[in-house]
C-alpha cells in the first residue's frame, strides 16, 4: 500500500467530477439527439458519483460509497427505461430530433421554434438487388415424356 502522500488530493477528485458534470451539462444543452442527451445525462450522474466517492474517502467513511451503489442502480434502471422510450419515440416519428416532439409539452407552454430546423427524413430510395454469390441453383433435369 502506497503512503497517503501519493494519493490524489480531494480537490483533484472534485475537479475531475466537476469537469465530467460540466461536459455532460454542455452536451445535454447543446445536442438535439435524444440518445446523445441521454448519454450526457449519464455523464453528469457519473460526475456526481465521483464526487460522492471522493468525499467518502476524504471523511473516512462508507456513506458516500453506499450512496453511489444505489445511484448506479437507479442509473441502470433509468437507462433501460430511457432506451425503451427512445425506441418507441423513434418508431412513431422516424427521427430522434427533440424539436419534433413539441406536442409532448404542457399545454401552458409555448412551442419552441428552432432557428435552424433539421430536415425531416424523406423517402429513402430502394436498395439495389445484390448479385448471387457463388454458384446459382441448378435447374431441375427434364424428364423425357416419350
Per-domain boundaries in the chain? 9-98
Helix (H) or strand (E) holding 39: helix 34-59
Phi first, then psi, for residue 6 (nearest 5°) are -85, -10
Q: Is the pTM of this model over 0.85?
A: no
Contact 89, 96 (CB under 8 A): yes
Q: According to the model, what pLDDT value does residue 7 have? A: 67
In the CATH hierarchy, which fold is given to the domain comprising 9-98?
Helix Hairpins (1.10.287)
Write the CA distances from 19 to 7, 52, 143, integer angstroms. Answer: 20, 15, 79
Q: How confident is the model at residue 120 (pLDDT cuts 50, 70, 90)?
A: low
Which grid cell is 129?
438487388
pLDDT tens for 84-107 read 988 998 888 888 887 777 777 788
pLDDT tens for 9-50 read 889 999 999 999 999 999 999 888 888 999 999 999 999 999
pLDDT tens for 60-72 read 888 889 999 999 9
Distance from C-alpha of 89 to C-alpha of 59, rounded to nearest angstrom: 44
For residue 16, with 0-12 CB atoms within 10 Å meaning exposed, 13-18 middle and 19 or more buried, which class applies? Answer: middle
Amino acid at each position: 500500500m502506497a503512503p497517503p502522500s501519493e494519493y490524489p488530493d480531494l480537490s483533484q477528485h472534485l475537479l475531475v467530477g466537476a469537469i465530467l458534470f460540466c461536459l455532460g451539462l454542455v452536451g445535454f444543452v447543446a445536442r438535439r439527439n435524444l440518445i446523445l442527451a441521454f448519454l450526457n445525462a449519464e455523464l453528469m450522474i457519473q460526475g456526481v458519483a465521483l464526487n460522492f466517492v471522493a468525499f467518502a474517502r476524504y471523511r473516512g467513511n462508507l456513506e458516500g460509497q453506499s450512496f453511489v451503489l444505489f445511484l448506479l442502480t437507479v442509473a441502470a434502471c433509468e437507462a433501460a427505461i430511457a432506451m425503451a422510450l427512445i425506441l418507441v419515440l423513434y418508431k412513431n416519428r422516424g427521427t430522434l430530433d427533440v424539436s419534433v416532439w413539441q406536442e409532448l409539452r404542457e399545454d401552458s407552454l409555448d412551442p419552441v421554434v428552432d432557428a435552424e430546423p433539421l430536415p425531416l427524413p424523406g423517402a429513402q430510395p430502394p436498395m439495389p438487388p445484390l448479385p448471387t454469390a457463388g454458384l446459382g441453383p441448378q435447374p431441375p433435369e427434364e424428364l423425357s415424356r416419350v
